[in-house]
Structure 1
């Protein structure tokens, strides 16, 4: 089970991971002067470097978050692929609540958000940063979120392949 130790929302200019920086720069370049790009402004072919390391989440009524794409190289406490499921479907309720909180902040602020999370899973350190980038849907606010977690410390026994890299 996931236990939250600390959770901090960081300013976007605190992005210190090259992959997250490139993803944010891409998102920013697609805005074309708007507060956020539309989902149709984002070309999956442009995101090849990030495939397997990102989620695409549909925002339903501003309250529910359904994974349309769940990165295949991303570890989570439940060890399951969440594609097609809702963030509230995580078996680990503490992880679900934290994830939903991050997504809601992105929707309410209608702006990118970056979180640094330190936790434990089964008494082992689990640390990551999560970048959430809003995408508009028909100019009616945030319709989707492009999320990219970068694991800093991951327990070796998580059943899915993590995106933690030592290089």
Structure 2
């Protein structure tokens, strides 16, 4: 990571600089981040118990909760919102992120989770990904750490915004 920018090297666009995120993200993404931040208060991160689904109604269809298990590290989808399920064409609840993540491959998604878990900080990413129905979508996601003890990340909550971009044409 370039410490001055919060931007990580490579082709995959991601940052831990939430001011940079605020400049480019959709209003709902920023509002969800601000909700999480408010729940953290003076702590580095809130716990899952701090999040109130009744307060989160406007974001629920785009949210995922991922359980974090260590030794060895496993990331398991606990809850997946209906927009996230529709994008995949199935509900990955109970499956590992390594086998059900969105995008070209799982290494970028797993890289995001590693930053959130190991550095205990939010990650924002944006990209274009293929939709199962044959078109590209613009995607942005903020991944936020949760901790029951204030130290160890035991869950990650994500909010992902998806918009159609353009059709993919068969180049045969």
Normalising to structure 1: TM-score of the pair?
Answer: 0.78
Which residue matches 2:18?
12
* Alpha-carbon distance between aligned partners in 1 of 2:96 and 2:152, rounded to the nearest angstrom: 20
Q: CA deviation at 1:90?
A: 2.1
Deviation at 1:88, TM superposition (A): 1.4
Structure 1 unmatched ranges of 5 or more:
1-5, 158-167
Alpha-carbon distance in 2 for matches of 1:46, 1:91: 27
Larger radius of gyration, structure 1 or 2?
2
* Residues 120-149 of structure 1, C-alpha deviations (whole Å, 9 max, x = no match): 458743321110011112234111111011
RMSD over aligned Cα atoms: 2.8
Deviations 1:92-133 (A, max 9, x none): 894322222211111112011101123445874332111001
Paired residues of 1:7 and 1:118 also in contact (CA < 8 A): no
Structure 2 gaps of 5+ residues are 1-10
Structure richer in strand, relative to its length: 1
Contact 1:77–1:95 (8 Å) recurs in 2 = no
Normalised TM-score (structure 2): 0.76
Q: Which has the higher contact order (CA 8 A, sep 6+)?
A: 1
Higher helix proportion, which one? 2
Aligned residue runs from structure 1 range 1-167, under 5 A: 6-10=11-15, 11-13=17-19, 14-15=21-22, 16-61=25-70, 63-74=73-84, 78-90=88-100, 94-120=104-130, 124-153=135-164
1:34-65 deviation line (CA, Å, top 9, x unaligned): 11111111111111111111001111117221
